[in-house]
């Protein structure tokens, strides 16, 4: 290389570095000046469509503030949010996540309390009064409200009426207890010549580590216990009631064999139910619209499937699991006020609430919401609302992610390994106690 | 095969030879201008290595002695992460799973790569085609490979049935059974990598002069003796390279376990890199994750040194 060409090379490199530095400064300044709210949420199609097509463009038009919305697979979203918020950068201004994240986010000062003024309320009391009584209790820490509900779901059950008829069961009388569900499950389960299950009578959803708390994990509160003790300082299930709940889970896979793993290439509740790989499945109010959009032949109106209340144990405690998803605002956001304004835009106006209710079947617990015509017009809404009244929250701990990972492992040991609860439960209890004591 | 078909003589491959220019650069054999130019040209690579390799490694080493959740400042905790690590059953499980994956992958894959290379080293109709077909998976992105194999492993209607159904094997729970999940990942690993190592072995085989084989045949050596006495010794530098690279890659295998099984069922496929990821990004335990990463590095370093000792070319 000649002397001249080396000089040219160095000049070129210096120019490129200068341009890169200048452009990064320019971009950062540009973001702050143009006021863009960064919003991350999960990839539920109805939610994504509402935000992208209605809420973000509407807010831009009304407030002149851009919303940069990204959606992620549910199982990957939480690590992304944690890393983005924790890792030195700004991360998203706004997230919509399961409310079980609240304890961790608040403990680590990653989110800020709700700004009632920005949301158009005189004060916090006025905001709380606009919701159903106690609807926001689970979102308060030390007298401060940290989240606004996007959906206050609970878990009920869907079942395939066509399979009920095929199995000689009355499709209008689905099982009310876990005991009678076994009888139906045995008739609904289909096996091939080798005896392997090709259609499960009962589907336990286990899509993400959190799913375990919502679905089979509901068996614990129905036995009067839960994953954590009431004070949250140790496990709450290493006892006879907890063992009975785990035993039921074990029996569905290994004794009665009405539940099965691996029927689908992906574990998707929508696909499992819509494609007929499971006959009964516990799920939330949100599932029917997205399932019917993908599988139009599986129609509630045409009587292909039905909705029933979550079965209970004959001598147990009446309960289901609450499954609320909430909006929270980053403590690092430079647009906190504007972001709470956007949340208000998305949920405060009756027009917005109507959109969420009709298009995504998200129930936002504003006062009187359950009696709105758009909700009462949904034929199965009553069933979900009845279960909502008996809901118990997911465990609240700053160690939620680790707890969920250990619970998922216990589920795998029971369902995939066929290990008995006597072996699995003490191990899980030890792990839970250890992580709570750290 | 004729002598003309062979290229080059026997000797260590280029990457094991000492670069002449490096010797001369500091030995006074080059002008000052050339030396400065050489330094200038390697500077970007050195900076890249320092910024993206050395600095992160030293940082991870430091963080392994701290408790850090990425939010507050790191807090020095001495050897606590290491003490906890050796008492952690999840770590030991992941170590066993990683060993299973690494050796389960390498033991069948490397001989198979060599065998395929030897087959393709012969005059064979459509050799380039076979070479291309076998090498193709190596250029696919790991996530794409996982998507392909997800379809293959579908219990009902999966493509695997083309091979197993004639033997009455159906409904195999490849990804949902603790006993099947790891073999499933190993099969994916072999499929993706066998062509890559085959090409490297092939290059090594084509570097061996045919005169050795001709002389051996004249002396009455059989095929096995030729393989044992000529091919293996002269291929040792290549074997060393392949062994080190393949073990390093297998030990760090992450994508297939993450995308196909998520480490399950019941941690049956939770390899060490997945445990590092989980602790770092799901639990935000950066100090503990760094301690696992440091242990992984030390184990790999030790295994590599053993490989160097056992496979280095005999002078």
Strands (DSSP E) along B160-309, which ranges? Answer: none
Residues A364 and A130: their CA atoms lie apart, in Å, by 11
The pairing of beta strand B66-67 with beta strand A391-392: unpaired
Report the Cα A189 to chain-centroid distance in Å.
Answer: 28
Computed over every residue of chain A, the mean pLDDT equals 87
Is B283 close to A109, i.e. CB distance below 8 A?
A: no
Of B191 and A211, the structure prediction assigns the larger pLDDT to B191
Is the backbone peptide bond immediately before B265 cis, with ω within 30 degrees of 0? yes
Confidence of residue A25 (pLDDT cuts 50, 70, 90): very low
First to last CA, chain B: 28
Minimum CA–CA partner of B270 in chain A: A409
Read off the pLDDT of residues B268-300 as tens digits, 9 standing for 90 and up.
999 999 999 999 988 889 999 999 999 999 999
The residues, any chain, with a CB within 8 Å of residue A1's CB and separated by 6 or more, are A9, B37
Cα A300-A301-A306 angle, rounded to 5 deg: 30
Structure tokens that stand for B293 in this block = 């990463």
| Contacts (Cβ under 8 Å, ≥6 apart) of B215 | none
Whole-number Å distance between alpha carbons of B244 and B257: 21
Q: Which chain B positions have a beta carbon within 8 Å of A73's beta carbon? A: none
Angle formed at CA A165 by CA A162 and CA A171, multiple of 5 degrees: 85
Task: Check: CB of residue A408 under 8 Å from CB of residue A428.
Answer: no
**What proportion of chain A, given as a percentage, has pLDDT over 70?**
90
Q: Which helix (H) or strand (E) holds B139?
A: helix B127-139
Nearest by CB to B173, which of A1, A85, A262?
Answer: A262
pLDDT per position as a tens digit, B195-238? 999 999 999 999 999 899 999 999 888 889 999 999 999 998 89
pTM: 0.80
CA distances from A222 to A115, A175, A257, A393 (A): 37, 16, 22, 13
pLDDT in tens, B11-23: 444 444 444 444 4
- Most B CBs within 10 A among A265, A399, A410, hence the mutation to make, goes to A265
Interface membership of B262 toward A (CB under 8 Å): yes
- Ordered per-residue pLDDT tens for chain B, 315 residues: 333 343 344 444 444 444 444 445 445 567 888 888 989 999 999 999 999 999 999 999 999 999 988 877 899 999 999 999 999 989 999 999 999 999 999 999 999 999 999 999 887 788 888 888 999 999 999 889 988 998 898 877 788 888 888 887 777 888 888 888 999 999 999 999 999 999 999 999 999 998 999 999 998 888 899 999 999 999 988 998 899 899 999 998 899 999 888 888 889 999 999 999 999 988 889 999 999 999 999 999 998 888 888 877 665
Q: How many CB atoms lie within 10 A of CB B199?
A: 18
pLDDT of residue A194: 73
Helical residues (DSSP H) of A255-372, grouped into ranges: 269-274, 287-294, 336-347, 350-355
pLDDT level of residue A11 (50, 70, 90 thresholds) = low
């Amino acid at each position: 290389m000649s002397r001249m060409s080396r000089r040219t090379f160095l000049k070129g490199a210096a120019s490129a570095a200068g341009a890169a530095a200048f452009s990064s400064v320019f971009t950062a300044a540009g973001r702050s000046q143009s006021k863009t709210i960064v919003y991350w949420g999960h990839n539920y199609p109805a939610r994504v469509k509402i935000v992208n097509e209605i809420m973000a463009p509407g807010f831009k038009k009304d407030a002149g503030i851009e919303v940069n919305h990204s959606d992620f697979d549910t199982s990957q979203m939480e690590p992304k949010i944690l890393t983005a918020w924790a890792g030195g950068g700004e991360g998203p201004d706004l997230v919509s996540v399961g409310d079980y994240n609240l304890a961790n986010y608040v403990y680590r000062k990653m989110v800020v309390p709700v700004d009632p003024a920005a949301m158009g309320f005189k004060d916090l009391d006025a905001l709380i009064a606009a919701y159903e009584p106690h609807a926001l209790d689970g979102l308060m820490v030390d007298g401060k409200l940290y989240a606004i509900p996007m959906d206050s779901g609970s878990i009920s059950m869907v079942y395939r009426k066509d399979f009920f008829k095929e199995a000689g069961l009355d499709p209008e009388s689905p099982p009310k207890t876990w005991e009678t569900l076994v009888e139906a499950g045995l008739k609904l389960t289909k096996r091939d010549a080798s005896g392997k299950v090709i259609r499960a009578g009962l589907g336990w959803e286990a899509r993400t580590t959190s799913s375990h708390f919502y679905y089979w994990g509901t068996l614990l509160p129905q036995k009067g216990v839960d994953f954590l003790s009431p004070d949250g300082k140790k496990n709450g299930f290493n006892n006879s009631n907890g063992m009975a709940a785990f035993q039921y889970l074990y029996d569905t896979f290994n004794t009665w064999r009405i539940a099965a793993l691996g029927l689908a290439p992906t574990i998707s509740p929508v696909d499992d139910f819509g494609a007929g790989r499971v006959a009964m499945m516990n799920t939330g109010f949100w599932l029917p619209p997205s399932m019917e959009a993908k599988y139009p032949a599986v129609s509630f109106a045409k009587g292909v499937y039905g909705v029933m209340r979550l079965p209970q144990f004959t001598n147990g405690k009446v309960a289901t699991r609450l499954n609320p998803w909430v909006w929270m605002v980053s403590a690092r956001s430079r647009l906190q006020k504007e972001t709470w304004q956007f949340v208000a835009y998305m949920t405060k106006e009756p027009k917005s609430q109507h959109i969420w209710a009709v298009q995504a079947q998200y129930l936002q617990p504003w006062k009187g919401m359950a009696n709105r015509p758009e909700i009462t017009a949904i034929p199965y809404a009553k069933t979900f609302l009845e279960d909502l009244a008996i809901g118990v929250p997911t465990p609240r701990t700053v160690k939620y992610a680790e707890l969920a990972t250990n619970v998922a492992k216990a589920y795998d040991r029971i369902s995939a390994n066929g290990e008995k609860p006597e072996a699995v439960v003490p191990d899980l209890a030890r792990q839970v106690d250890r992580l709570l004591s750290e | 095969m004729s002598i003309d078909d062979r290229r080059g003589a026997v000797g260590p491959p280029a990457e094991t030879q000492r670069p002449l220019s490096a010797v001369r650069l500091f030995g006074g054999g080059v002008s000052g201008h050339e030396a400065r130019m050489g330094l200038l040209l390697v500077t970007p690579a050195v900076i890249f290595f320092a910024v993206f390799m050395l600095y992160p490694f030293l940082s991870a080493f430091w963080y392994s002695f701290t408790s850090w959740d990425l939010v507050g400042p790191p807090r020095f905790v001495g050897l606590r992460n290491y003490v906890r690590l050796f008492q952690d059953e999840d770590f030991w499980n992941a170590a066993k799973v990683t060993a299973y994956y690494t050796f389960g992958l390498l033991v069948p894959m490397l001989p198979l790569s060599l065998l395929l290379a030897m087959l393709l080293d012969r005059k064979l109709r459509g050799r380039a085609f076979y070479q291309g077909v076998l090498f193709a998976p190596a250029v696919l992105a790991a996530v794409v490979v996982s998507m392909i194999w997800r379809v293959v492993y579908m219990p009902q209607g999966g493509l695997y049935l083309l091979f197993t159904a004639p033997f009455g094997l159906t409904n195999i729970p490849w990804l949902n059974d603790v006993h099947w999940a790891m073999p499933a990942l190993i099969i994916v690993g072999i499929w993706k990598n066998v062509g890559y190592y085959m090409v490297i072995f092939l290059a090594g085989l084509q570097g061996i002069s045919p005169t050795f084989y001709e002389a051996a045949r004249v002396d009455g050596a059989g095929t096995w003796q030729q393989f044992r006495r000529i091919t293996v010794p002269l291929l040792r530098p290549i074997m060393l390279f392949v062994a080190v690279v393949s073990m390093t890659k297998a030990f760090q295998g992450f994508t297939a376990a993450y995308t196909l099984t998520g480490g399950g069922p019941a941690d049956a496929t939770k390899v060490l890199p997945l445990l590092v990821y989980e602790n770092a990004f799901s639990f935000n335990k950066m100090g503990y994750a760094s301690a696992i990463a440091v242990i992984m590095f030390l184990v790999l370093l030790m295994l590599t040194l053993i490989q160097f000792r056992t496979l280095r070319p005999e002078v």
